[in-house]
Amino acid sequence: MNLERIKYFNINLMEKTYYNPSDLRKFKNITEWSEELGEKFFEYYGKVFEEGALSAREKSLIALAVSHVVQCPYCIDAYTQDGLQRGINREEMMEAVHVGAAIQSGATLVHGVQMMNKYNKLSM
């Protein structure tokens, strides 16, 4: 197979998956189809992550935890890298992921009360 074909073949392969790591680089392109909303979003996004009452470092860890909860592979890549750049270590990162996981499983389990209520109501 010549190089052109391999390349062509690869591109087709990539298009057959829902997630492609290199799509993260194209995130800013969403502005092309709706300039005003796209730009407003990125401006807001940038502002959110600036130093504020919370440090940018704390925000990065929160973002990492939320990325796992919403299971966004792009965000997980982005905030793992962001954490490394900020000197956040792996113990801190993993603890943040556990915070997300604990809230998510807590949210599941607390619905057990609803189940118990319904059970009791329906039972004689």
Partner 1 sequence: MKIQSLKKRNSDLSQSERQLQILSNGLFADGELPTFKERLERAGKAPLTPGKLEILQVNVGYMCNQVCAHCHVDAGPDRKEIMTRDTMKEILSVIEKTGAHTLDLTGGAPEMNPDFRWFVEEASKVGISDFIVRSNLTIIKANKKYADLPEFFKKHGIHVVSSMPHWTRGKTDKQRGDGVFDKSIQALKDLNAVGYGMPGSGLKLDLVYNPSGAFLPGNQASLEKEFKKALLEDFGIHFHELFAITNLPISRFLDYLIASENYEDYMYNLVDAFNPAAVDNVMCTNTLSVSWDGWLYDCDFNQMLEMKVQSAVQHISDFNMEILQNRKIAICQHCYGCTAGAGSSCQGSVA
Note whether 25 binds partner 1 by CB under 8 A: yes
Number of residues this chain uses to bind partner 1 (CB under 8 A): 10
Question: Quick one: how far is CA 75 from the chain centroid?
Answer: 4
> Does residue 81 bind partner 1 (CB under 8 A)?
yes
| Contact between 89 and partner 1 per CB under 8 A | yes
User: Per rule CB under 8 A, is residue 26 in the interface with partner 1?
Assistant: no
Query: Can residue 46 be called a binding residue for partner 1 (CB under 8 A)?
Result: no
Q: Which is nearer to partner 1, 70 or 84 (CB)?
A: 84
Question: Where on the chain is the footprint of partner 1 (CB under 8 A)?
Answer: 21, 25, 56-57, 81, 84-87, 89
